Amino acid sequence: MQLCVIGAGYVGLVTAACFADMGNEVVCVETDPFRLTRLQAGEVPIHEPGLQALLTSHLASGHLRFTRQLAEGVERAAVVFIAVGTPSEEDGSADLSHVLAVAEQLGSTLRHACLVVNKSTVPVGTAERVQKVINQRLHSRQLALQVTVASNPEFLKEGSAIDDFMRPDRVLLGCADSASEELLRRLYAPFVRNNERVLCMDVRAAEFSKYAANAFLATKISFINEMAGLCGLLDVDIEQVRRGIGSDKRIGTHFIYAGCGYGGSCFPKDVKALIHSAEQQGFEPAILRAVEARNALQKTLLFEALREHFSGHLQGRVVALWGLAFKPGTDDLREAPSLVLLDALLAAGARVQGCDPVACDGVAARYAQALASGQLKLGESPYTAVEGADALVLVTEWKQFRQPDFRRVRGLMRMPALFDGRNIYDSLELSELGFLYRGIGRPVADHCKASAA
Ligand SMILES: NC(=O)c1ccc[n+]([C@@H]2O[C@H](COP(=O)([O-])OP(=O)(O)OC[C@H]3O[C@@H](n4cnc5c(N)ncnc54)[C@H](O)[C@@H]3O)[C@@H](O)[C@H]2O)c1
């Protein structure tokens, strides 16, 4: 099938590459000149495992190409996917300017009937708005084309996006008519050989489902974080509790890891947008507000623990940070807990030695001044990061940090204090090695209590 994907970000690029891999002819439209040039040169501008191989292969096969020109992208397309960003506005609502700009362009450009599919995460009613904008433009061009708008929210996860797209848990299709549904079913058939995973519903339900899914996952995280806070006070280990409750099928083992808060390009902005939608309807979203407040608090916990550890004097202290991306497997820094910690540490006069396998460039661009002054150092080696450190903080649980040589780490640090923002380490083992260990919602081991006293 001839396809056009508008926007070559985490979602658009993966969508375009995966559809190309199934034999479709895909043209991807991207307006960011830097991103476009790299893509046309065969270089993936983001970190996403497996994406480079697909891009290389399908640029060569001719199944995938990139352009800045929307007219060129849609020229022969039977289906046009919109996959542009929908960041938060000041008031928390979803900024639809990119989506609506694309709708205007489509209405001004299309010369043939096609299906427009919205993959961006958008509030209920957006497909209707996009349809209206396209129709108005077509009308002003005196064209009576059948252009239909459907919703197909995306559920891929950064870090495993190719796998998620190729083998989705489900594909949601929000269609206003059976012809659109049929076309999308055909397009997705190779990805869901078992058809039970295609869920068709009305357009508004599909739009809402995406927000409800992200809000539910964010709620699970904030719930376990709240339990962790209480565990910390009651001398209970949240890790044991996690195992105790996760084995209940009704609860499940996913998204119940206590930690230093969720970040990323989706949960924070989608919870905000849902709160805004509720407010617009005069509905009080009490749970969503609590989820957001708990997460904001959670992102401050590591700094508070460090401040307490150093009795409020962080000036000149050397703090090593392991993991800067908002989660393992990506270079995405949007809303990352590491940034909240970095801001606070730098403001308090600490010297920070950060380490991340792929996100250092993004951090360097944000903290150019601290980098230039030497207050911030960045690198890829976890061992270099801990040299001379007074404390080590695990922020993002990349595989590289799971089983380090802690004897070596201890030997390199000035003071062996470890703050585990994701509860991945064995507190007793570390205490035995002489570390002062602090997790999230975990009791202080006897050894630590003794050395802290
Ligand atoms: N990132 C994720 O994990 C994820 C997962 C599911 C859903 N989503 C949703 O998908 C949407 C896209 O997210 P993303 O993370 O890929 O965003 P992104 O910011 O990484 O990518 C968006 C891309 O669209 C381009 N763009 C903007 N306007 C354009 C235009 N008029 N024409 C062509 N290109 C244009 C931008 O330059 C950018 O490259 C959002 O609504 C997001 O909420 C994201």
Cα gap 320→345, rounded to integer Å: 11
Ligand 1 midpoint to CA 11 (Å): 6
pLDDT tens digit string along 308-355? 999 999 999 999 999 999 999 999 999 999 999 999 999 999 999 999
Confidence of residue 453 (pLDDT cuts 50, 70, 90): very low
Ligand 1 binding pocket includes 86 (Cβ within 6 Å): yes
Instruction: Give the closest residue (by CA) to ligand 1 atom 10.
Output: 120
Local confidence band at 194 (pLDDT 50, 70, 90 cut-offs): confident
User: What digits encode the pLDDT tens for the residues 213-239?
Assistant: 999 999 999 999 999 999 999 999 999
Q: Which strands make up the sheet holding 79-82, listed edge to edge?
A: 64-67, 25-29, 2-6, 79-82, 114-118, 147-151, 171-174, 198-201
Picking from 419, 443, 416, 420, the residue whose alpha carbon sits closest to that of residue 432 is 416
What percentage of residues in the chain have a pLDDT greater than 90? 96
Measured in degrees and rounded to the nearest 5, phi and psi for residue 228 equal -65, -40
- The CA 39 to ligand 1 mean position distance, Å, reads 15
Q: For residue 445, what pLDDT is reported?
A: 65
Q: For ligand 1, is residue 85 a contact (CB within 6 Å)?
A: yes
Q: What is the mean pLDDT of residues 150-157?
A: 98
**Residue 446's pLDDT band (boundaries 50, 70, 90)?**
low
Asked if residue 8 has its Cβ within 6 Å of ligand 1, the reply is: yes
Q: What is the whole-number distance in angstroms between the Cα of residue 97 and the centre of ligand 1?
A: 12
DSSP run (H or E) holding 390: none
Q: Which two tokens stand for residue 212?
A: 């409800």
Tokens 């050395």 belong to which residue?
451
In order, the DSSP letters of 166-181 are HS-S-EEEE-SSHHHH
Domains detected in the chain: 2-201 (3.40.50.720), 211-297 (1.10.1040.10), 299-452 (3.40.50.720)
Label residue 444 by pLDDT band (50, 70, 90).
confident
Which atom of ligand 1 is the closest one to the Cα of 10?
16
120 CA closest ligand 1 atom index? 41
Cβ atoms of residues 38 and 116 within 8 Å? no
Give pLDDT, residue 299: 98
126 lines ligand 1 (CB under 6 A): no
Ligand 1 pocket, 102 CB below 6 A?
yes
CB atoms within 10 A of CB 118: 29
Residue 451 has pLDDT above 90, yes or no: no
- Work out the mean pLDDT of the chain and round it to a whole number: 96
Residues noted as catalytic = 266
Q: What are phi and psi of 355, to 5 degrees?
A: -145, 130
Q: What is the pLDDT of residues 367-422, one digit of tens each?
A: 999 999 999 999 999 999 999 999 999 999 999 999 999 999 999 999 999 999 99
Ligand 1 close to Cβ of residue 83 (< 6 A)? yes
